[in-house]
């Protein structure tokens, strides 16, 4: 892994600068794997942009709005947890978690071939051994993925996300969904769906308050007794 880290540090060139409070936050979240996070951001800013996974306006704020916003949710998962990332897209939050937490076992669920190809290329380049990619829609992945936790970001409203994610937990586990300021309203609108799919105890809270200028809002929904 050291060779990958050294190559990662040397390869950074076109990614947005990491400095100030963002550098402090990234250092705390990624530790000695920060070079890998830098290399990942380089991929997002180059091939990710070229292939349409990231919009050009997002490049300057890849660290604050995207990578760090996702990475801080690593505190939600216990050591060694199996986590499925639904609609992984550009690896947000799945690859951020795989870099920050090498103890986690990540499965990135993504239906589009071009995104799957990109994710596999990045995983190979970074030498990540704790993450795999499954090309499938979420409903097709039920029974194919052994997950204790499922996560998602910017996939859909919670009422639509519930039927896509809770069945992956096979009766026991936790959904950790990254949401925006309307999270509480989404929980209210999703009440029937949560009950239908045997979820309970929805909690809205923020994480990363001590690291980010804008903390990340998450919704946690439990299924069974994990």
- Is there a binding annotation on residue 44? no
- Is there a binding annotation on residue 153? yes
Question: HSE-up of 211 (CA within 13 Å, CB side)?
Answer: 25
CA distance 226 to 222: 8
For residue 161, give the 3-state DSSP assignment: helix
Task: Confirm if 131 and 95 have CB atoms less than 8 A apart.
Answer: yes
Classify residue 19 as exposed, middle or buried by CB count within 10 Å of its CB (0-12, 13-18, 19+): exposed
- Is there a binding annotation on residue 138? yes
Which tokens hold the place of 103? 């103890």
CA distance 81 to 16: 31
CA distance 56 to 53: 10
Which tokens hold the place of 187? 């929980």
- Is there a binding annotation on residue 87? yes
- Is there a binding annotation on residue 49? no
CA distance 96 to 90: 10
What residues form the annotated binding site for S-adenosyl-L-methionine?
87, 92, 138-139, 153
What residues form the annotated binding site?
87, 92, 138-139, 153
């Amino acid at each position: 892994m050291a060779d990958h880290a050294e190559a990662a540090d040397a390869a950074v060139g076109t990614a947005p600068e990491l400095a100030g409070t963002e550098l402090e936050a990234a250092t705390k979240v990624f530790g000695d794997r920060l070079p890998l996070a830098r290399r990942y951001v380089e991929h997002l800013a180059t091939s990710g942009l070229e292939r349409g996974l990231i919009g050009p306006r997002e490049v300057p704020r890849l660290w604050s709005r995207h990578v760090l916003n996702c990475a801080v949710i690593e505190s939600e998962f216990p050591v060694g947890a199996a986590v499925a990332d639904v609609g992984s897209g550009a690896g947000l939050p799945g690859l951020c978690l795989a870099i920050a937490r090498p103890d986690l076992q990540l499965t990135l669920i993504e239906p589009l071939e071009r995104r799957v190809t990109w994710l596999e290329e990045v995983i190979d380049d970074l030498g990540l051994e704790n993450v795999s990619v499954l090309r499938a829609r979420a409903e097709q992945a039920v029974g194919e993925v052994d997950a204790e936790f499922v996560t998602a970001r910017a996939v859909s409203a919670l009422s639509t996300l519930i039927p896509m994610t809770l069945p992956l937990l096979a009766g026991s586990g936790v959904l950790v969904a990254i949401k925006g300021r309307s999270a509480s309203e989404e929980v209210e609108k999703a009440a029937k769906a949560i009950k239908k799919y045997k979820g309970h105890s929805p909690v809205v809270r923020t994480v990363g308050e001590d690291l980010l200028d804008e903390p990340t809002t998450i919704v946690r929904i439990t299924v069974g007794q994990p």
